[in-house]
Amino acid sequence: MSVTDDIRLYLDEKRAIIDAFPTEAVHRAAEMLFETYDAGGTVYAMGNGGNAGTLDHAYCDFKHHPFVSEDKSAPIAASVRRLHFVNLCGSAAELSGLVNDLGPDSMYSASVEPFVTPRDLVMAYSGSGNSPNVVRALEVAVKAGARTFAMTKGDGGRCRDLADVCLVVPGTSRFPGQTGRNDNNFHFEDAMLSVNHMLVGLLKKRVADAAAPARASHP
């Protein structure tokens, strides 16, 4: 195949994924996010490798974007509840310390277990659905009675069994770099960013709708 053919292959695969995308899982994830926000709970998010980088982006978006005006010219009123969002991948010092002291399989569960409550939402991103550190933290969240969301691909792995809502990115790939054990991984990572953007936008709409009556009564 030529380079152009490979590019078209990637885009064709992406279109097929979009057409088959499990929108109901996004809907249910949004409902859990709303419940967590309304309860004053905390969102904890985790992933490995490139997924951890995407969660740094998500941390910025979830923490700030729903709470600025539509044109981004000003924050909304300080009286409007903000979302508590913890990026468990965010600190290199913390992660390296936990790995050094407790081992890589406990790096996320050790951060979550002392704090997670039934008011919270734990979001897990694992392409295989079997990453030991992600699975162990989900087990802790389930034991605590927290809401749980996972995003995976393939058969969903252990995450599919543990999470209240598990979004499994559909499809398979023939594109270079995401075949074999890495099947569909680029598309999974692309979809992860899209799902986070959908959830941020839906939360922004909910926050704006809730704030509208207050603005109307105080012109």
| pLDDT tens track for 14-71 | 999 999 999 999 999 999 999 999 999 999 999 999 999 999 999 999 999 999 988 8
Give the residue-averaged pLDDT of 129-148: 98
Q: Is residue 216 scored above 50 in pLDDT?
A: no
DSSP per-residue letters across 51-102: HHHHHHHHHHHHHHGGGB-TTSSSBPPTTSPPPEEEETT--HHHHHHHHHHH
Q: What is the CATH number of domain 3-68+81-217?
A: 3.40.50.10490
| pLDDT tens track for 70-108 | 888 888 888 899 999 999 999 999 999 999 999 999 999
Give the alpha-carbon dihedral of 141, 143, 149, 151, to 10 degrees. Answer: 90
Judged by average pLDDT, the poorest of 3-7, 77-81, 120-124, 197-201 is 77-81
Residue boundaries of the structural domains of the chain: 3-68+81-217
Query: pTM value?
Result: 0.93
